[in-house]
């Protein structure tokens, strides 16, 4: 991807990572009976975009570090969606998205070019994630699609087996196994089990058996 580390991650912004339900099945009980949303987990690499709270500079990050401006997928996506201009108008907002397309993982979505699928919006001024519906309004307003919603409801009733079953399937228009799903509370909530926000993932066993990681 020709990306070079430029420096630390955006200060005060959580890095993107979710625990597998296979590792923390007790988290299911915390969500049971509550409004929820389940989205497709794209098989790509996470990217964070926003205005650095100290320097005022537009900053592009991979999973753990900021990335130097250049001809790489992270910055090419920023240019495609004109994020430097868009986020300068909203300096408090950090956009976190899955970066997918040619040259990223195995391009299981079979895309002809790089794309972003937003999954988080973090309000760095107030130090909080926006809830799912609130967050969805923002990426759309700057032209970035949100991740696909598979299911939502008013009362979560899944167990581990049903989540693993739901995690299986193909990416749209392909015969490529999708990586899995992300499950979270519809409104932002804290999990005692996870020690952070109530958000976790289920990775498809079919995906793992076919060489995913």
2 confidence band (pLDDT: 50, 70, 90): low
CA distance linking residue 130 with residue 122, whole number of Å: 6
pLDDT of residue 1: 58
The vertex-11 CA angle with 79 and 139, nearest 5°, equals 40
> Does residue 16 carry a pLDDT above 70?
yes
* Percent of the chain whose pLDDT exceeds 70: 98
pLDDT tens-place string over residues 168-192: 999 999 999 999 999 999 999 999 9
Give the side-chain half-sphere CA count within 13 A for 64: 1
Position 210 scores a pLDDT of 81
pLDDT at residue 212 above 80? Answer: no
The pLDDT-based confidence of 213 (bands split at 50, 70, 90) is low
CB 100 within 8 A of CB 109: yes
Query: Taking residues 151-156, what's their average pLDDT?
Result: 98
Residue 136 has pLDDT above 90, yes or no: no
Predicted local distance difference test score (pLDDT) of residue 114? 97
Question: In whole angstroms, what is the distance from residue 169 CA to residue 160 CA?
Answer: 16
Q: Which residues pair with 199 in a beta bridge?
A: 184
Please name the residues in contact with 88: beta carbons below 8 A apart, sequence gap of 6 or more: 51, 58
pLDDT grade, residue 211 (50/70/90)?
A: confident
Compute the distance between CA of residue 158 and CA of residue 82 in angstroms, rounded to an integer: 39
What residue ranges define each of the domains in the chain, with the CATH number in brackets? 5-209 (3.30.470.30)
55-83: per-residue pLDDT in tens? 999 999 999 999 999 999 999 999 999 99
| Burial status of residue 55 (CB atoms within 10 A of its CB: 0-12, 13-18, 19 or more) | exposed
Cα angle 29, 159, 135 (rounded to 5 degrees) comes to 70
Assess whether pLDDT exceeds 90 at residue 41: yes
Residue 6 CA to residue 22 CA, distance in Å, equals 35
């Amino acid at each position: 991807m020709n990306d070079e580390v430029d420096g630390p991650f955006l200060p005060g912004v959580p890095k993107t990572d979710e625990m597998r339900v296979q590792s923390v099945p007790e988290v299911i009980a915390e969500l049971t009976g509550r409004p929820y949303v389940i989205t497709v987990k794209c098989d790509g690499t996470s990217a964070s975009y926003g205005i650095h709270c100290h320097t005022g500079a537009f900053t592009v990050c991979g999973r753990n570090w900021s990335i130097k401006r250049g001809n790489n997928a992270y910055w090419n996506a920023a240019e495609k969606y004109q994020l430097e201009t868009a986020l300068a108008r909203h300096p408090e907002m950090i956009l976190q998205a899955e970066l997918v397309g040619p040259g990223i993982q195995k391009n299981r979505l079979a895309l002809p070019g790089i794309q972003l699928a937003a999954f988080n919006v973090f309000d760095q001024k107030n130090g909080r994630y926006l809830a799912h519906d609130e967050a969805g309004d923002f990426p759309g307003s700057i032209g970035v699609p949100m991740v696909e919603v598979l299911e939502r409801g008013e009362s979560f009733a899944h167990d581990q087996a049903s989540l693993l079953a739901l995690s299986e399937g193909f990416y749209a228009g392909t015969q490529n196994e999708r990586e899995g799903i992300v499950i979270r509370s519809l409104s932002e909530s804290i999990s005692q089990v996870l020690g952070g926000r109530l958000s976790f993932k289920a990775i498809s066993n079919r995906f793992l058996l076919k060489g995913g990681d």
